[in-house]
Chains A and B, each alone.
Chain A
Amino acid sequence: MSSSESKVSRRDVLKVIGGLIVGGVVGGLAGYFSAPVREVVKEVVKEVPKEVMVTPPKREVPKEPIKVGVTYWASGPQAAAGWHLGIGAHIAADWINAEGGILGRKIQLLVGDETAGPAEIVKLVKKWVTEDKIEYLIGINSSSTAIAVAPVIEEELHIPMMIGAATTWKLFEEIIPKPYYVFRVVRSNAAETILTIEVMKRHYPRATKIAEIEPDYAYGRESSQVFRAALKKIWPEAEVVVECWPPLGTTDFSAHIAAISAAKPDIIYGSLIAGDCINFLKQAVAAGLHKTCIFALEDAVMSTMNELSPEILPEGSISSTRSWWFEYPWNLSWRKKFVEECYSRGRKYPQFEAASTCASLYLYKAAIEKAYAMKGEYPAIDDIIHALEGLITLTPAGYCGIRKDHEGYGIVTCGIVKHTTKYPFGYTLDPIYIRPIDEYLPPEGVKTLDWIASW
């Protein structure tokens, strides 16, 4: 710097720094311990005084398209499973738009990739709501994303959110106990866990040594809690001899397989999803584990139906599924068309995620139409939410509905794998157990773990 500038000595620097620190600390402590409420600030921040309105004008049906945000795993190891969330939304949007849209408004989809992590999705959703003005959020593949985004929607962003695939029970029990804006068209997967244990006990009663392999993130951890609690109650003779926690997205399970085979279990149980499930089965079968153990992977046929080929899914394996909805319980022609459309777009049978997002859009349409019919004007967000609660409507995925507590109706399915040529992916579930999901989940207001403890 130029010589005309005054020299800054070390003492000066220390003085300035010291002064700032002392000032800051004193100011902060003083502020903290002095009068709790600053009247001045409160005044400035008070809301605009309410005007008296005689007759509010009727809300016109807006001309702009309805922007809907949908997030799913669009890249990375789980992309094959995430694709279905996207395709369900796209097919539903195309079909709804072809019939004229919702009250004449076309649906426009904005897509977000959850592989970037929950932090990025939170930023993206914030941008969508404040900049792009989306009116509805659907999709949500990962339970981590749900846990991160749902509180932000409830507290700040205030638009309806319909979760399509994140099935952690913790969401409505601990994170947001009384949801207003957040809905979930699927139910918690505690039901699948419990039914899987029952099927394991029924078909392999002597296989009491269980190895547990769970993905190390929200979904896996919570699934494991329910598994342990329910196992003690339903099948006390069984014990978990080894547990493994590969992080979500692990592609190399060699060490986990070595640990499992060393423990010599009878059943390998886990809730590995999508890409992880495929890699694990591939490597486990190559290591010969299928010769000595039974696979009981909860999500195998749920989220990787199309990618699992018969050579890596041995007969006799147990899997729960929500993706068999195209067979049971209603055989409707609209649903057949949906299956064919999905197959024509991607050469895959639609998994449950496709049904979820499709139902999300059709439910939204039904809610808006119902609220419009009742009020005679385009519904506000609160009206839409009240219309959604308790709504049941027919969608290409069958009859879907939302209960008053913001969760969906449904069935829970589990079965034994059998190889067949009936489907392009080469296997089916036979025998298959289908139960109403309410039998396998706690009643309204009761927490899952408390409910299991009370058996």
Chain B
Amino acid sequence: MLSTTLSIILTGLFFSSMFLLISNSLTLIVYVLKILNLAQGALFALGAYITITVIGWMSTLNLPLELWYLGFIITAFIMMLIGICLEKGLISRAYGETMEIFVLLTNGIGLALYDAIKGIWGVFPLMIPYLYHSAGNLSFYEISFPTYNLFVIIIGYVLSLALWLWLFRTHSGRVIRASAIDSEMSRALGINVRRIYTLIFALAVALCGLAGAIIIPIRSAVPGFGAEEAIISLAIIAAGGLGSFKGAFIVSHVMGISRAFGISFYPEIELAIIFLIVAIILAIKPTGLFGKEERRL
């Protein structure tokens, strides 16, 4: 019993870590730019596909396996550039509009991006060979857990911690939070809010792409990759409270572990459980666990 529970909890943490990365990316955009980004799934998939190309190129150079991990950093960098282009080219044109407009805009971008991925990388599933099981697996307490999954868990926590420390403990983080809380005042104080928007958007895109990057050695990349994770992450930030990092952290874990238990014990309603939990949380507290109170009308 203990080993079963332990292995399910570990899998749950693995899911949570992935949700954490995507939710943090979403929360970042909501918190600073006040936009709900529905293109997250497409960006997640884009990160995965770019990683396949990058690591595929690296494997032809006959580099040792350890150096392949650098491919993730290269992908993050490329995603950052893509984020800057997206923000400057499309998102910034709609600044000043209501949130619904941005929902529709990012939805359109997401749809188009998915098919662009299909067009560039083709429709066949693509994989990264060797990397996943070269990391081996750990055996303890009668369970065996792939080492790579542990790596994913650690990365998730490290990046989230780094993000949180930067935003809440450094000077530049304070500047960004100021622009988030009151952009007009910040502008009046001489802060270049537009540049901060671009930077934050690019950072969020890079984070999301990185999530896609580190998950791809485990699976194969197919059209439609990541759509489910993206929708679950939207539900997570809704339940945690839009713009709240604390909420995203807690609800990601709730979701991840429920999902692991759901698949193991109640496969029939596993997907429904997740959204039902979110719907119940929102029904009780409309703005999510840690969200700000809103006008009722």
Which of A's residues lie within 8 Å of B, judged by CB?
Answer: 74-77, 79-80, 83, 115, 216, 244-245, 249, 251-252, 254-256, 258-259, 261-263, 275, 278-279, 282-283, 285-289, 291, 309, 311-312
Per the bound structure, the CA–CA distance linking A79 and B118 in Å amounts to 13
Please indicate the chain B residues that have their CB under 8 angstroms from the CB of A288 in the complex. Answer: 137, 139, 144, 146
For A115, the chain B residues whose CB sits under 8 A away are 223
CB 8 Å contact bits of B180-202 with A (1 = contact, 0 = none): 00000000000000000000000
* B231 located at the interface, meaning its Cβ lies under 8 Å from any Cβ of chain A in the complex: no
5 contacts between A and B (CB under 8 A): A76-B125, A79-B123, A252-B218, A254-B15, A275-B220
Q: What is the interface of chain B, defined by CB distance below 8 A to chain A?
A: 3-4, 7-8, 10-11, 14-15, 118, 123-125, 127, 129, 132-133, 135, 137, 139, 143-146, 148-149, 215, 218-220, 222-225, 259-260, 263-265, 267-268
Complex CA gap A442/B98 in Å reads 64
Closest 7 pairs (CB-CB, A-B) = A75-B123, A255-B263, A262-B4, A259-B264, A251-B219, A286-B133, A288-B144
Q: Which of A75, A252, A263 contacts B219 (CB 8 A)?
A: A252
Residue of A nearest to B12 (CB): A255
Complex partner residue of A80 from B125, B129, B133, B224, CB under 8 angstroms: B125
A291→B123 CA distance, assembly (Å)? 34
Is A258 within 8 A of B223, CB to CB? no
Q: Are A254 and B224 in contact, with the CB atoms below 8 A? A: no
Q: Which of B125, B148, B260, B265 lies at the interface centre, i.e. has the most chain A CB atoms within 10 A of its CB?
A: B125
- B223 to A75, Cβ gap below 8 A? yes
Chain A residues positioned under 8 Å from B268 (CB to CB)? 245
- Judge whether A287 and B264 touch: CB under 8 Å: no
Please state if B222 and A77 are interface contacts (CB–CB under 8 Å).
Answer: yes
Q: A261, B124: Cβ atoms under 8 Å? A: no
Looking at the complex, which one of A79, A254, A282 makes contact with B11 (CB distance below 8 Å)? Answer: A254
* Contact residue among A76, A244, A283, A286 (Cβ-Cβ distance under 8 Å from B224): A76
B146 CB contacts on chain A under 8 angstroms: 283, 286-288
Return chain B residues, CB-CB under 8 Å to A80: 124-125
Closest to A257 in B: B11
Report yes or no: A258 in contact with B260, Cβ–Cβ below 8 A: yes
Q: Is the CB of B10 within 8 A of A258?
A: yes
Q: Is the CB of A258 within 8 A of B264?
A: yes
Is B220 touching A261 in the complex (CB atoms < 8 A)? no
Partner of B118, one of A75, A244, A258, A286: A75
Query: What 17 additional pairs, Cβ within 8 angstroms, besides A75-B124, A79-B123, A259-B264?
Result: A75-B118, A83-B124, A216-B267, A244-B267, A245-B267, A249-B224, A252-B218, A254-B11, A254-B14, A254-B149, A255-B260, A261-B143, A261-B144, A262-B143, A262-B264, A275-B220, A278-B127
A285 — which chain B residues lie within 8 A by C-beta? 133
A289 to B7, CA, bound (A): 13
Identify which of B7, B15, B132, B222 contacts A261 (C-beta below 8 A).
B7
Partner of B8, one of A74, A255, A282: A255
The reply to whether B220 and A287 contact each other, CB–CB distance below 8 Å, is no
In the assembled complex, which residues on chain B have CB atoms less than 8 Å from the CB atom of A259?
8, 263-265
- B219 nearest in chain A by CB position: A251
A286 touches B137 (CB 8 A): yes
Contact partners of A263 in chain B: CB under 8 A: 4
B219 touches A279 (CB 8 A): yes
By a CB distance below 8 angstroms, the chain B residues around A249 are 222, 224
Residues of A within 8 A of B267 (CB): 216, 244-245
Q: How far is the CB of A273 from chain B (nearest CB, A)?
A: 13
Smallest CB gap from A309: residue in B: B129
Contact indicator A77/B220 (Cβ below 8 Å):
yes
Report whether B220 and A278 are in contact in the complex, using a CB–CB cutoff of 8 Å: yes
Question: In the complex, what distance in Å separates the CA atom of A141 from the CA atom of B125?
Answer: 17
- Chain B residues whose CB sits within 8 angstroms of the CB of A278 once the complex forms: 125, 127, 220
- Considering residues A256, A263, A286, which has the most beta carbons from chain B within 10 angstroms of its beta carbon? A286
Q: Once bound together, how far apart are the Cα atoms of A75 and B224, in whole Å?
A: 10
Question: Nearest chain B CB to A222's CB is how many angstroms away?
Answer: 17
Asked if A255 contacts B259 (CB within 8 A), the reply is: yes
CA distance A297 to B212 in the complex (A): 29
Give min CB distance, A186 to chain B, whole Å: 23
| A423–chain B nearest beta-carbon distance, Å | 18
Do A255 and B123 form a contact, CB below 8 Å, given A75-B118, A286-B148?
Answer: no
CB pair B220–A256 under 8 Å, yes or no, is: no
**A261 CA to B267 CA in the complex, in Å?**
16
Are A256 and B263 in contact, with the CB atoms below 8 A?
yes
Closest B residue to A287 by beta carbon equals: B146
**A116 CB to closest chain B CB, in angstroms?**
11
